[in-house]
Amino acid sequence: MIRNIFIAIIAFTLLLGCKAKQYDVSVPPKGYSNNTTLKIAYATGALKIIEKDFPVPEDIKEYKDITYKTVDTIPLKLDIYHSKDIKKDAPLIIFIHGGAWKKGNKHDYLVYLSSFAQKGYVTATVQYRLTDVAKYPAQLHDVEDAVRWLKLNAANYHIDATKVALVGGSAGGHLALMNAYSNTQEDVDEKGISAAVQAVVNFYGPSNLTDETAINASSVQYLIGKSYEEAPDLYKKASPLFLISKNVPPTLTFQGTLDELVPYEQSDILHATLQKAGAISYYHKLKGWPHTMDASVKVNAYCQYHMDRFFEKYIPFN
């Protein structure tokens, strides 16, 4: 009898523990009071981090290292993913990696690439020239050319070229916004293809390279190749904030308040300026989370939940 009661108590305790681990992915996960407590949580394993390098799921078809253009003998490549069971053309989501424009790898977003491919989208990730190879606007031109290549070759990969979204983090967020805001359907190349997109998702990307934090950042100076005093117009032309109009694509922004690389005020101003212009903007400012916050399992689930809603609205399946 006592043994049965003891087993029942253990079972009930385990049940409570399982319930405690459940959380609503539509609600922002609780953040940290400062970056010190966050680092402690990470060091002790209390902060769970997503896997970044894992085998591509068996139900996903991967096209690896496709050269979309060659510049000065340098081949620039992209990867494409879609379900092996795909039956008809699907919306395309293109991911642009971060790394202060000087590092990073198109493989960095595998968790998103595989997840959204399993949801039925075609996903792609793009390599672009880093700042030790070329200065701005080379990086933007590479992204634009990758978008055009994917549209031109849409029929080979089950892509619906009329429904394209860009997603970028940090430096990739900046490039995603620049492409989305500087290209229209009328801006076509010699083949009649534009780099315009229907939606853009910005993860903590800098929107204004002319503010004090940006102009003093070595990564921004290295991107432009000149100091702000030498080329203020170029810093402004490289800032998504100054390209905003009511006609820019719908924008979804994620930003953490503990971000030490891109101040959250950059995203505050971006969202406010989009709203003032009459453009569509959704803004998720997560209290107590840092740069690259979506490396957290809980934050990643939250972001994917809201990305799902965003894509369903602006690049819907037929």
Q: What is the pLDDT of residues 274-304, one digit of tens each?
A: 999 999 999 999 999 999 999 999 999 999 9
User: Is residue 98 within 8 Å of residue 130, measured between CB atoms?
Assistant: no
Looking at the DSSP assignment, which residues form a beta bridge with residue 200?
Answer: 166, 251
Q: What was the pLDDT predicted at 294?
A: 98
Q: Which two tokens stand for residue 78?
A: 């992209």
Q: DSSP character for 108?
A: G
Q: What is the mean pLDDT of residues 172-191?
A: 94
**What is the per-residue pLDDT for 291?**
97
Whether pLDDT at 163 is above 80 = yes
Residue 218 reports pLDDT greater than 50: yes
> What average pLDDT does the segment 153-174 reach?
98
Place of tokens 């680092």: 39
pLDDT number for residue 7: 37
Name which of 112, 115, 74 is nearest 96 in CA terms.
Answer: 112
> From start to end of 108-149, where are the E strands?
122-126
Q: Which residue has the tokens 């634009």?
A: 144
- Note the pLDDT tens digit of each residue in 34-55: 999 999 999 999 999 999 889 9
Residue among 31, 28, 12 nearest 20 (CA): 12
Instruction: Quickly count: other Cβ atoms within 10 Å of residue 98's Cβ.
Output: 24
Query: Are 257 and 289 a contacting pair, CB within 8 Å?
Result: yes
Residues 6+ apart with CB under 8 A from 114: 56, 57, 60, 81, 123
Confidence of residue 160 (pLDDT cuts 50, 70, 90): very high
Judge contact between 26 and 246, C-beta under 8 A: no
Where residue 21 falls among pLDDT bands split at 50, 70, 90? low
Radius of gyration of the chain measured on its C-alpha atoms: 21
- Alpha-carbon span 147 to 126, nearest angstrom: 9
User: Residue 13 above 90 pLDDT?
Assistant: no
Q: pTM for the whole thing? A: 0.93
Other CB atoms within a 10 A radius of the CB of residue 173 amount to 29
Judged by phi (left if over 0) then psi (alpha if -120 to 50, else beta), residue 208 lies in beta
Tell me: pLDDT of 188 over 60. yes
Q: What pLDDT score does 6 carry?
A: 39
141-167 mean pLDDT: 98
- Give mean pLDDT, residues 270-275: 98
Distances (CA, A) of 233 to 223, 227, 237, 275: 14, 11, 6, 25
Two tokens, residue 74: 């340098």
More confident residue, 16 or 66: 66
- Tell me what pLDDT residue 11 has: 37
In the chain, what percentage of residues exceed pLDDT 70? 93
The answer to whether residue 307 scores a pLDDT higher than 70 is: yes
Residue 67 tokens, joined: 């050269």
Of all residues in the chain, what percent carry a pLDDT higher than 90? 89
The pLDDT assigned to 10 comes to: 34
**pLDDT in the model for residue 224:** 98
pLDDT of residue 2: 45
Residue 119 pLDDT exceeds 90: yes
Q: What is the mean pLDDT of residues 235-249?
A: 98
Average pLDDT score, the chain: 93
**Smallest Cα–Cα separation from 246: which of 195, 174, 164, 181?**
181
pLDDT band (50, 70, 90) for residue 20: very low
pLDDT of 266 reads 97
CB atoms within 10 A of CB 257: 16
Q: Which residue has the tokens 């405690």?
A: 20
Residue 279: name the closest of 306, 311, 245, 312 by CA: 245
What is the predicted pLDDT for the residue at 54? 94
